[in-house]
Amino acid sequence: MTQEVTIPEITAKEQLQPDLERAVDAVEEALKQAKKAGASAAECAISHSRGLSVSTRLAEVETVEFNQDGSLGITVYRRHKDGSQSKGSASTSDLSPAAIRATVEKADAIARWTEADPAAGLADKELMAFGYSDPELFYPAPQSPEHATQVALACEQAMLNADERIINSDGAHYSSHCGFRVYGNSHEFLGHYMSSRQSLSCMPIAKQGDVMERDYAYTIARDPQRLLAPEAVALEAVANTVARLGARSVPTCTVPVIFHRDLAHHLFGQFAGAISGGNLYRKSTFLLDHLGKQVFPSWLSIQEEPLLAGGLATTPFDHEGVRTEARDIVNDGVVSTYLLTSYAARKLGMQSTGHAGGIHNWFIRADAAHTATGLDALCKQMGTGLLVTELMGQGVNLVTGDYSRGAAGFWVENGEIQFPVTEVTVAGNLRDMFANIVAIGDDVDPRHGVLSGSVLVSAMKVAGQ
């Protein structure tokens, strides 16, 4: 006999509050046990997520998944006579006092046998986010299978009805998740916040003659009111897919390249990796010793806004409890800061910048003279070249800056799209690519932690036929 499972909807903060309170108690208990074991310092975190996902295909529900994930991770430090510390880490999904005690004991045992490291330890106490404000990242949203199914089916049906060339579907997918993060350490810092996230996507398959193509579209937001309507997602996916029909390669050439707004975050993500502390202290980045040096054109700046309301990368403190704050990453083309955890900062003789766990809402800014009004204007400015809408492969070497990735997109002549392109490679060096950005569109993509419009680079090698 099959037992019916009731899936609780989480549509208000109050419904998550009991789980959050248990998590806070568990973190406090773990820190207490670490102190009792004689640790010189300790830090503990719990990330909890729950929600559901529904996938449909050809008007049928394929999967309905409910998930609830969460675990406690504890790191224990032991100080040596020379002031250096060794550390041990362990985790558990069981938040009972006995399980927490056993997990702390395991972490402590590891710390006793681990080699001491002068750079190991908590972030400095004065950097902790004491008195932080709730970032307000939780927005009520339905989490019922019925609602999720209705949205996914509506999206897919609109997709199938939009164009006669759409002959099949790889499905539609809707998900709604919420959760919280709790972090505490022996500096007596304890912080927590709730968050939510909803998304909808679909992938049509188009056919013309003997040629078939697939593409997709999606929408994602913390606030369900900011999601695109299912019909809008469907129409975007259909337009993307149909536009790929008849794609061909082009002769090898060196031409200007536009990275579509969907890909701009990848480009600036390479920059983030190149100025991250781990790569810097290992001397494995082409931007070693570039603090205060010109990397981008003087008209380009990057600002970080970690407290942006509803931002997908918003957080009041990083994974070490360090407070986050608005800062210039790049000012007038010059690198203003590295991205440092406390460990990387000590290795470099610097101070943590609050980037344990990643970056926090980057805004790519251009002055008026170098901002194009939409993608069409950027194509007109380019004249002849390649508009890249898809990247494939992992051909990026951050040590040298060499960049080579498979690509697809559209060939542009006289500022107008001529035909879709496939089976080409775009290649260059990130140092040159960054320096030779000539304009950025105002078609900012809000679906990422890097908010940028499409990016025009003056010249790259396009390897094709």
| pLDDT above 70: percentage of residues in the chain | 98
Instruction: Find the angle CA(12)-CA(15)-CA(17) to the nearest 5 degrees.
Output: 110
**Structural domain that includes position 390:** 253-463
Q: Are residues 266 and 224 in the same domain?
A: no
Q: Are residues 149 and 239 in the same domain?
A: yes
436 half-sphere exposure, CB direction, 13 A CA radius: 16
Q: Is the pLDDT of residue 286 over 70?
A: yes
Q: Are residues 328 and 443 in the same domain?
A: yes
Interhelix angle for 97-113 vs 13-36, to 10°?
Answer: 50
CB atoms within 10 A of CB 82: 8
Q: Are residues 94 and 206 in the same domain?
A: yes
Q: What CATH code is carried by the domain that includes residue 222?
A: 3.30.2290.10
Q: Are residues 376 and 279 in the same domain?
A: yes
* Last residue of one domain, picked from the residues 208, 243, 278: 243
Give the neighbor-by-neighbor strand order of the sheet with 327-331. 334-335, 327-331, 300-304, 362-366, 450-451
Q: Are strands 455-463 and 437-441 parallel, antiparallel or unpaired?
A: antiparallel
How confident is the model over 291-306, as pLDDT tens digits? 999 999 999 999 999 9
Q: Is the pLDDT of residue 3 over 70?
A: no
How confident is the model over 417-449, as pLDDT tens digits? 999 999 999 999 999 999 999 999 999 999 999
Q: Is the pLDDT of residue 6 over 60?
A: no
pLDDT for res 196? 96
Q: Is the pLDDT of residue 8 over 70?
A: no
CB atoms within 10 A of CB 382: 23
Q: Which two tokens stand for residue 342?
A: 């406390």
Q: Is residue 65 part of a domain?
A: yes
Q: How far is CA 24 from CA 45, 92, 348, in A?
A: 9, 15, 34
Q: Is residue 176 part of a domain?
A: yes
How confident is the model over 169-224, as pLDDT tens digits? 999 999 999 999 999 999 999 999 999 999 999 999 999 999 999 999 999 999 99
Q: Are residues 220 and 155 in the same domain?
A: yes
- Cβ distance 342 to 121 under 8 Å? yes
Q: Is residue 6 part of a domain?
A: no
| Calpha distance 465→448 (Å, rounded) | 34
* Last residue of one domain, picked from the residues 243, 266, 297: 243
Look at residue 199 and give its three-state secondary structure: strand
Q: Are residues 224 and 85 in the same domain?
A: yes
* Last residue of one domain, picked from the residues 243, 272, 294: 243
Q: Is residue 361 part of a domain?
A: yes
